[in-house]
Amino acid sequence: MNEPNLCCSRQAEIQAWLDGDLAPAARADFERHVADCPRCAAALKAFRHVDELVGAACRPGPEDRVQPARVDRVMQRILAAPAPGGTAPTPWTAWLAAARALPAGAWPALALALGVVVLVVALSWSARVPGPPPAVAPPGSSPGHQAAGETGFVFSLAAGSGAVPFLVDNGLPLATGPAGLLARGRHYELASGRKLRLDADFHGPFRELSPGLVTRLPVEITGPARFEPRPAGLLLESGQAACAFREPHPAFVVETPCGKVESLGTRFLVEVRPGETLVALEEGRLRLTTPTQERMLTGRQAVRLRRSGEIEPAGAPSTPAYSSSPAAAPPLPPAPRPDDQGADTLNQSY
Amino acid sequence: MTGTPKGPPPEEREAVLAVRQGRKEAFRLLVENHWERVHNLLRRFLNGSEPAEDLCQEAFLQAFTALGTFDETRPFGPWMNRVAVTTALQYRRKQGRQVVLVPFEEVVMRNQVSGPGEKVLGQMVVDEFLARLPESYRLLFLMRYALDLTYEEISQFLAEPVGSVKGNLFRARELLKQAVGEPAAAPRLASVEGKP
């Protein structure tokens, strides 16, 4: 290789010049030197040439192009994730901001209103009969069921704690803690032909504000299945999940490779098959999101989510939704009714 | 190399504020605007060993989760760059591998990046060179040339002194310069042009 630049004592300054690290006077001095030194000039040209080539080589290529389906897949995960923490405005800071915007004349009226509110609250408090604090836990809660600090849905084995030989956790038979809790972020595999009954219990401010609103939501998974408990619901990679949610609850999301099924107080079944996800709804409403479509499903319907993102009408899933108590969870419909084919739009439903 | 700091594009600032107010869908604009650069970085970092899309998704998910810490008066792109690099380094750590900038050994490196009969001038040799570099050096090039990070930022990511980062990068460029050969018609320096 031709190396015309090995002899000059100022070679070390080339890097500093390229990086813009030289002080103005030193920079000017080096540039004067380069003008008179063919070795340094050649080396500098060569380095600039390399920089141009590397810059070009590091630019995005056709395989990096943004595509709607790629963005949709990211957004699918983001929509299922908890809201970002940090400096998001709280009701208190919003109230403060609103208070700052009030005209000066409004303050006496505001103070009077606040005084009335304080008086009413004090009177209500004094009228209360002393007694034990109200139970916050839903009926059937066992001690230690709630994972401290966790918000969103927390999953536990309906059968209780202990070893479950047909449920594999990272290659080993599952052994849960005393509360029978399943850990978030772990992939569980359910053996073929087995069924697993889980309780999805919601934790968070929503429940703290309205203790009676959300109780345990039953989910039955049929193997062979692979799934992951998530704060927003369940990631179902394969297998069937039947949900019978009679109580009001925050949106429970079943994510599948072909799309997202968002339950809005309902009874439904999701089955993941190669290249498609079958969704059968018995009652209530479901919001379906694929990389290319979003639809609201109401009434007794069954649809198929394709890998391509299409949502099309479908027959019933291959097996009944629930094997347990029919009173608690009756079977899902055998097939969609012809008059139920048209799903509502999002605007109609909200 | 980093240029004058600019304010964020208004639509990106609005998107950040909307996401913080609970409109998660507003994050889509940020993904669309920055996907290419982040995917490019992670694809080249992974070097074809596995698809980059999953890691790219992870980077945006981390950015979304940490959006509360982002100063919305500044451009989103440089912050997203740092999130992407952090995601790449965390990914390797999870695999039990640390991205460490090993001292530059010219003989070892020369053997690694070049093979007999592969002297192809120009862009191809650069692509090949980058692909064959040790991972830490590839990341070094990418941080500097694809993401426009400063040496100080790079040194923080790699937990190396700035001087070490500069020196290693310069020696790797020197090696590449030798592989590429002399430019056929290299442009002259603007500051030198016009001189006799």
Give, in order, the Cα–Cα distances in Å from A179 to each of A11, A57, A138, A139, A142.
69, 55, 15, 15, 7
CA angle B119–B125–B126, rounded 5-degree value: 155
Q: Which of B190, B153, B155, B128 is nearest to A48 (CA)?
A: B190
Give, in order, the Cα–Cα distances in Å from A293 to each of A32, A68, A306, B24.
63, 11, 11, 17
| Domain-wise residue ranges, chain B | 10-94, 106-180
CB A196 within 8 A of CB A221: yes
Instruction: Report the residue count for chain A.
Output: 350
Higher pLDDT, B114 or A333: B114
B60 to A51: CB separation less than 8 angstroms, yes or no = no
Region A331-350: mean pLDDT is: 30
How many other CB atoms sit within 10 Å of the CB of residue A301?
A: 22
* Domains annotated on chain A, with CATH: 12-57 (no CATH), 152-349 (2.60.120.1440)
Q: How far is A1 from chain B (nearest CA, A)?
A: 6
Which of B19, B35, B173 is nearest residue A84 as measured by Cβ atoms?
A: B19
B189 to A45: CB separation less than 8 angstroms, yes or no = yes
Mark which residues 129-168 of B lie under 8 Å from A by CB.
Answer: 130, 141-142, 145-146, 151, 166
Residues of chain A with pLDDT > 70, as a percent, come to: 57
**Highest-confidence segment of A21-30, A262-271, B117-126:** A21-30
Nearest Cα residue in chain A from B42: A64
Tens of pLDDT, residue by residue over B126-149, are 777 788 778 888 888 888 888 888
Question: Roughly what angle, to the nearest 10 degrees, separates helices B123-132 and A38-57?
Answer: 70
Q: Which of B57, B87, B17 is nearest to A291 (CA)?
A: B57
Give, in order, the Cα–Cα distances in Å from A122 to each of A119, B13, B67.
5, 44, 40
Q: Find tokens 């080993």 and name the residue.
A: A172
Higher pLDDT, B94 or B120: B94
CB A343 within 8 A of CB A295: yes
Per-residue pLDDT at A167: 74
Per-residue pLDDT at A307: 83
Q: Which of A179, A140, A145 is nearest to A162 (CA)?
A: A179
Whether B118 has its CB under 8 Å from any CB of chain A: the answer is no
Per-residue pLDDT at A191: 78
How many other CB atoms sit within 10 Å of the CB of residue A271?
A: 26
Structure tokens at B26: 């507003």
Whether A15 has its CB under 8 Å from any CB of chain B: the answer is yes
Strand segments, DSSP code E, in chain A are 152-157, 163-169, 172-175, 188-190, 195-203, 217-230, 233-244, 252-256, 259-263, 267-273, 276-283, 285-289, 294-298, 301-306, 311-313
User: Which residue of B39, B62, B147 to mutate against A (max A Cβ within 10 Å)?
Assistant: B39
Whether B37 has its CB under 8 Å from any CB of chain A: the answer is yes
User: Which residue of B85, B147, B177, B195 to mutate against A (max A Cβ within 10 Å)?
Assistant: B177
Nearest Cα residue in chain B from A50: B177
User: Which residue of B40, B56, B120 to mutate against A (max A Cβ within 10 Å)?
Assistant: B40
The ipTM assigned to this model is 0.76
- pLDDT band for position A328 (cuts 50, 70, 90): very low
Whether A73 has its CB under 8 Å from any CB of chain B: the answer is yes
Res. B177: pLDDT tops 50: yes
- Chain B residue numbers touching A54 (CB-CB < 8 A): 126, 130, 141, 145, 173, 176
Q: Which of A8, A28, A14 is nearest to B167 (CA)?
A: A14
- Chain A residue numbers touching B79 (CB-CB < 8 A): none
Mark which residues 81-120 of A lie under 8 Å from B by CB.
Answer: 81-89
Q: Which of B33, B170, B35 is nearest to B104 (CA)?
A: B170
- pLDDT band for position A273 (cuts 50, 70, 90): confident
Strand-pair partners of A262: A253, A287
Q: How far is B24 from chain A (nearest CA, A)?
A: 6
Tens of pLDDT, residue by residue over A222-236, are 888 888 888 888 999
Q: Which of A7-21, A44-58, A129-143, B88-102 has the lowest average pLDDT?
A: A129-143
- Chain B residue numbers touching A20 (CB-CB < 8 A): 1
A150 vs A207: CA distance, rounded Å:
12
Res. A298: pLDDT tops 70: yes
CA A130 from centre of chain: 42
B10 vs B5: CA distance, rounded Å:
15
Residues of chain B with pLDDT > 90, as a percent, come to: 22
Per-residue pLDDT at B158: 80
Higher pLDDT, A10 or A178: A10
Per-residue pLDDT at A331: 42
A208 burial via Cβ count (<10 Å: 0-12, 13-18, 19+): exposed
Tens of pLDDT, residue by residue over A129-175, are 443 333 333 333 333 344 555 677 888 887 655 556 677 766 666 66
Tens of pLDDT, residue by residue over A90-101, are 444 444 445 544
Region A109-114: mean pLDDT is: 64
Structure tokens at A308: 């391509």
Mark which residues 70-109 of B lie under 8 Å from A by CB.
Answer: none
Region A110-133: mean pLDDT is: 54
- Chain A residue numbers touching B32 (CB-CB < 8 A): 66, 71
Region A122-128: mean pLDDT is: 51
Structure tokens at A237: 């990679």
The overall average pLDDT reported for chain B is 77
Q: How far is B35 from chain A (nearest CA, A)?
A: 6
Task: Indicate left, alpha or beta for B85 from its phi (over 0: left) and psi (-120 to 50: alpha).
Answer: alpha
A144 vs B32: CA distance, rounded Å:
43
- pLDDT band for position A292 (cuts 50, 70, 90): confident
Tens of pLDDT, residue by residue over B6-58, are 678 899 999 999 999 889 999 999 999 999 999 999 998 888 777 789 999 99
Domain B106-180, CATH class in plain words = mainly alpha
How far the first Cα of chain B sits from its last, in Å, is 29
B26 vs B72: CA distance, rounded Å:
14
Strand-pair partners of A306: A276
Whether A57 has its CB under 8 Å from any CB of chain B: the answer is yes
Nearest Cα residue in chain B from A74: B57
Per-residue pLDDT at B57: 94
Out of 1.10.1740.10, 1.10.10.10, 3.30.70.20, 3.40.50.720, select the CATH number for domain B10-94. 1.10.1740.10
Res. A64: pLDDT tops 50: yes
Q: CA torsion, points B102, B107, B109, B110, in degrees to nearest 10?
A: 170
Q: How far is A61 from chain B (nearest CA, A)?
A: 7
User: Which residue of A53, A67, A90 to mutate against B (max B Cβ within 10 Å)?
Assistant: A53
Residues of chain A with pLDDT > 90, as a percent, come to: 4
CA B23 from centre of chain: 30
Q: Which of A242-256, A273-287, A327-341, B137-151 has the lowest average pLDDT?
A: A327-341
Which of A15, A59, A73 is nearest residue B166 as measured by Cβ atoms?
A: A15
A345 vs B103: CA distance, rounded Å:
61
Whether A346 has its CB under 8 Å from any CB of chain B: the answer is no
Which of B57, B126, B130 is nearest residue A77 as measured by Cβ atoms?
A: B57
